[in-house]
Chain A
Amino acid sequence: MAKAASKHCQVIMATQSPRLVDEFTADEIVIVEWNEEQNSSEFSRLDENQLSDWLERYSLSELWEKNVLGGQP
């Protein structure tokens, strides 16, 4: 649904669902983390190439859980 809609306009979703994350590729995901020192939110887009060694062995939701991606409580 999101992919179909994205043909017409940009779709931004915020989620805490590991299963939803697995429907997308690393390049489509932006991690948002709270930086206490700077008192601000930090956005960083995942890099598929940089993660390639990890993605060979794990799904995105697993990497999220392992704290390889960041964005954890």
Chain B
Amino acid sequence: MKFIRLNITVEGQTEERFVKDTLASHLGHFDISTDVRRVLTSKDKYKAYRGGLLSYARAKKDIETWLKEDRNSDICFTTMFDLYALPNDFSCCEEAQRINDPYDKVAFLEQAMNDEIGDHRFFAYIQLHEFEALVLANARNLECEPTAKSVSLVKRGYSFWKNVGQSPTRYGPGQSPEPA
């Protein structure tokens, strides 16, 4: 099998650690080696307290600079940006606001970004659920936190969403969590 290199541009330190500590070894099983760079630094700390990428223009420039620096054709580039608090200057942001289905919205934004970057090695990835939601997605991992009551609550929530077969963030406040 051919060895693939994957360069990931992420938002901040949390995502960077996730790629280094978890994703890199997982992708290693598929002969994919990863390199990760982040957009935000500690200088952004005070502005970034609400989370999110702050400036799409800056993220885009970071990606373009990396694409230019590493011209090999056997490298793939991707991103790990949250949909939540995606900056307003993101490509086609206004059009995307009119799309109700969150999966369609993400697909639309990713395509818009791919078109704008315009390099066949680049495939945008936008995270529908915040990174933290992924960390908590497997309720069983929380069993190591031995508060019996909270574990059983988490389990109930877990089986509930599993049965519903839909993701929690599909529903806004007051909406009924029934499958669409």
Contact = CB atoms under 8 A, between A and B. Distances in A.
Contacts of B68: 53
Contacts of B69: 50, 53-54
A48 B82 CA distance: 33
Interface size class of B (residues with CB under 8 A): 10 to 19
A66 B37 contact: yes
Given A50-B69, A53-B68, A53-B69, A66 B61 contact: no
Nearest to B62: A66
A50 B69 CA distance: 7
A13 B51 CA distance: 36
Interface in A51-71: 53-54, 57-58, 62, 65-68
Contacts of A54: 65, 69
Q: Please report whether the interface of chain A is mostly helix, strand, loop or mixed according to DSSP.
A: loop
A57 B39 CA distance: 12
B18 to A, nearest CB: 13
Contacts of B65: 53-54, 57
B38 A66 contact: yes
Interface centre among A57, A66, A68 (most CB of B within 10 A): A66
A62 B42 CA distance: 8
Interface in B45-79: 61-62, 65, 68-69
Contacts of B80: none
A67 B43 contact: no
A66 to B, nearest CB: 5
Contacts of B39: 66
B41 A68 contact: no
B36 A65 contact: no
Contacts of B41: 58, 62, 65-66
Contacts of A65: 38, 41-42
Nearest to B37: A67
Contacts of B62: 66
Contact of B36 (A57, A58, A62, A67): A67
A33 B61 CA distance: 27
Interface of A: 50, 53-54, 57-58, 62, 65-68
Given A58-B41, A67-B16, 18 more contacts: A50-B69, A53-B65, A53-B68, A53-B69, A54-B65, A54-B69, A57-B61, A57-B65, A62-B41, A65-B41, A66-B37, A66-B39, A66-B41, A66-B62, A67-B35, A67-B36, A67-B37, A68-B37
